[in-house]
Amino acid sequence: MTKNKKHVALLFGGNSSEHDVSKRSAHNIYDAMDKDKYEVSLFLITKNGIVLSNEASHRVFDGEDEADVVKDEIPKLDMNNPLAPIINFDSTSDIDVFFPIIHGNLGEDGTIQGLLRLMNKPYVGSGILASSMAYDKDITKKILDEAGINNTKYVLLTPDNRKDWNYDKLAAKLGSLMFIKPANQGSSIGIHQVHNQAELESGLNDAFRYDNKILIEEAIEGPEEVEISILGNEDPKASKLGAIKVPADDKFYTYDNKFVDASQVQFTIPVQLPDGVDEQITKMALGAYKALGLKGMARIDFLVSKDFKPYLSEVNTLPGFTNISLYPQLWEASGISYTDLIDQLIELAYAEFNRQSKILHDFKPLQKGDQKKVYEDK
């Protein structure tokens, strides 16, 4: 590797429903990275949680079928070794910084962040606790409520209390139209619109396939879906706003709208809102970012009601970087190119790593006799 280049490891894939989306995001990031600045290694995490080597990951990047590559690589691993799933990380000693772009499970829930923290390596994005809190919609809403940030009302269902709630009881609390959402899932997976008891039952049966915590949320009348991108650590900045209008036949912004066929989806970037609404959304987004302790980046989604009241809908700590993803598009509209955005994210990773390293360096563990002195001082 050329010494004046930073060695960046792209981590992508994972065992979530967003595996293929993550692969597309990683491809776009790789293509946009300035190769005069960066040496890039690839580490694909398979659908069953095995980290492939850089060489094998490049084979998938270059168009080989992932299943065929996995079939070749798995026999090379000693599966009696408990570290076998991550053994290919043993080649990362000269990696300067990691760029995880694993959407959903393993990537946004704090799992990969914990491993990278244990490896004592800088990485792009939020830390362990912030990632896991923002990934869990129930926990996110509790923190938003504590911070005074407006969001939709909801009832939390689990296998233990599911039998205590029916459509009529929920409708009395939330209104006749509701949405089912798994607490720990992304990209509209497991989401269902509910008008009656039959739809509630079938929707819950599907949602509980993905999580044991299910949110039943109120529906906002005639909402406009508005998104904003956030970039930064302690002093984050916000992009311009973008709006999404889905086809009339679709009830909400579905997985297919997002990643399969967006040809019928209308994106408005930047979006014009009545006076004061865009400032209100920006303030809410930055407030949520800080309340959750996020770092690096996030895309934050809002619903704006017919009377232009904004509701914070969802926080995405590792947003998509596909060709139609709004996170980089919103920054393009705000004056930051795709390549410059990647540069800034990497610099933010170093800044946060250095901040944490200084805390550890300045920390002086108690020496023999110090504990007794502390008690005496009290």
Structural domains present in the chain: 6-123 (3.40.50.20), 153-218 (3.30.1490.20), 224-355 (3.30.470.20)
Q: Is the pLDDT higher at 376 or at 79? A: 79
Tokens of 296: 């690096």
- In single-letter form, the type of residue at position 98 comes to F
pLDDT band at residue 363 under the 50/70/90 scheme: low
pLDDT band at residue 40 under the 50/70/90 scheme: very high
Residue 241, CA distances (Å) to 29, 108, 112, 118, 125 in order: 22, 23, 30, 36, 21
Was 301 annotated as part of a binding site?
yes
- In single-letter form, the type of residue at position 338 comes to Y
Task: Please identify which residue in the block is written with the tokens 């970037």.
Answer: 269
- For 176, residues 6+ apart whose C-beta sits below 8 A from its C-beta are 195
pTM of the predicted model over 0.85: yes
pLDDT band at residue 251 under the 50/70/90 scheme: low
Neighbours of 372 (CB within 10 A): 10
User: Do you find a cis peptide bond into 82, omega within 30 degrees of 0?
Assistant: no
Residue 154 has pLDDT above 70, yes or no: yes
- Can you tell me the mean pLDDT for 226-239? 98
Residue 263 has pLDDT above 60, yes or no: no
Was 316 annotated as part of a binding site?
yes
> Considering the chain, what percentage of its residues have pLDDT values greater than 70?
89
Q: Cα dihedral angle (317, 320, 326, 329), rounded to 10 degrees?
A: 110
Which residues are known catalytic residues? 18, 187, 325
- Can you tell me the mean pLDDT for 90-94? 90
Digit-coded pLDDT (tens) for 99-133: 999 998 889 999 999 999 999 999 999 999 999 99
Which of 249-266 are b and which e, b meaning 16 or more Cβ less than 10 Å from the residue's Cβ? eeeebbbebbbeebeebe
Q: pLDDT at position 245, please?
A: 85
